[in-house]
Structure 1
Amino acid sequence: MQEISQPPAPGSAEHPSLALAGSLNDLPGTRGFDDLADPEAATAWLAARDLISPDAVLYELCRGRLVGLRAHLRALFAARVSCEAPPAGAIQALNDALTSVPGARLLRHDPVAGFRREADHPATQVVEHAMATIAEDAASLLTGAEAPQLAECEAGSCQRFFLRTHARRQWCSNRCGDRVRAARAYARKRVGSGV
């Protein structure tokens, strides 16, 4: 899979659960991206969202757990968008993430960085804190006032979720909208030319 940069989907900056659900996308051909492709990428992704300390180190086991949560979030968001019952395993995985936190994020002070909060635990527990934060956000999003705005990108090749900023919004980004419009124009041109 060729890594490409994708603009953030509406709502993903405010909701780490949407950002996690959208951290993987297979686009036409060999293009696509996986922001959690390896432990280093997963560490960078979590650190960029202040979910872990930038100097934390995640291992493949931690990355795998995060990837598993991503799959369950996608299933829950898809169920919400389609008004269908979610898989029981997805609900259980979210509840497990919510309740697996071993303790509070402690207040720390660094002379250079100032105050910060971080887990004082081994790496597997650091990822549990991050997963619990993401799970809390997902549960709040699925049950809160923004739940009706949750949508799945209507570009056939995209699998990202976003919050609709207006009722007619169909795509997670202008790039997806442009791709769909170009495909429609190409199809009309082929039909018109009899090809």
Structure 2
Amino acid sequence: MQDTPSEDARLALDLASTIRHDGNGGVADDLAGPAGLTAWVRAHPGVVPDAARFVADEETPGCVRELRAAVRALFARAVRPGAPSRADADRLVPVPEALRRLNAAAARTPTVPVLHWTDEADPVLRQQPAAADDLVAALARAASAFLAGPERQRLRACHAPRCVRYFLKEHPRQEWCKPSCGNRARVARHHARHRNTA
């Protein structure tokens, strides 16, 4: 079993998972408007300070959806040679555009150098956000850290029927994002075999 995903990985995956199967053969968007984004941020208390009081304006959901499209395009690249999520297969943002969007979003909040120096270690200089309340920049930084880190190697697209999620592979035999997706995939294979023999 692998380690628990980092905060950056969890946040990037949760953002990508705001596109999901709607239960009727289509895709639902949890960030379709200010109310959806407000609910999502409140369910992720570490994203911005005072997330419990966060209320999305009319402009921010569109900015977050643009960032999400970039993240999902970069996830599709990361899972190669595997196939991307079905939700993205025919509408992926080109990788150069995805990188431009991600980097532009991360740059919305400038960083400042902060010196850390404990008695037990040499001084370390780290770049930290000058302000921590820009939602789009915080999401972009988390996605960038995840994509540049070692956890990216475990990223997979779930190819169970009707699933459009990306997930981190927890063990060598894992093929789906959750057990219910594995059950759907096995049932679909069973029906396909019986259709072909009938």
Normalised by the shorter chain, which TM-score bucket? 0.7 to 0.9
Correspondent of 2:109 among 98, 101, 110: 101
Q: Which deviates more, 56-65 or 23-32?
A: 23-32
Correspondent of 1:29 among 24, 33, 53: 24
Partner of 2:193: 188
Distance in 2, matches of 1:67 and 1:100, equals 16
RMSD over aligned Cα, in angstroms? Answer: 2.8
Q: Is residue 87 of structure 1 aligned with residue 95 of structure 2?
A: yes
- Report if the CA contact (8 A) 1:12-1:18 is conserved: no
C-alpha displacement of 1:173 = 1.3
Q: Is residue 19 of structure 1 aligned with residue 14 of structure 2?
A: yes
Distance in 2, matches of 1:60 and 1:155, equals 34
> How high is the TM-score relative to the length of structure 2?
0.71
Q: Is residue 66 of structure 1 aligned with residue 74 of structure 2?
A: no
- Report if the CA contact (8 A) 1:39-1:60 is conserved: yes
- Report if the CA contact (8 A) 1:44-1:54 is conserved: no
- Report if the CA contact (8 A) 2:70-2:101 is conserved: yes
C-alpha displacement of 1:32 = 4.4
- Report if the CA contact (8 A) 2:67-2:102 is conserved: yes
For 1:101-120, list aligned pairs within 5 A.
101=109
Distance in 1, matches of 2:63 and 2:53, equals 19
C-alpha displacement of 1:137 = 1.6
SS of the equivalent of 1:77 reads helix
C-alpha displacement of 1:132 = 1.8
Partner of 1:171: 176
Partner of 1:109: none
Correspondent of 2:36 among 18, 41, 45: 41
Unaligned runs of 5+ in 2: 83-93, 113-130
Unaligned runs of 5+ in 1: 1-9, 105-120
Partner of 1:107: none
Distance in 2, matches of 1:190 and 1:47, equals 46
C-alpha displacement of 1:141 = 1.3
Correspondent of 1:137 among 129, 142, 148: 142
User: In the comparison of the two structures, how many residue pairs are matched?
Assistant: 163
- Report if the CA contact (8 A) 2:33-2:61 is conserved: yes
- Report if the CA contact (8 A) 1:25-1:158 is conserved: yes
- Report if the CA contact (8 A) 1:18-1:162 is conserved: yes
1:131-164 superposed Cα distances (whole Å, 9 cap, x missing partner): 2222122111111121211111122532211110
> How high is the TM-score relative to the length of structure 1?
0.72
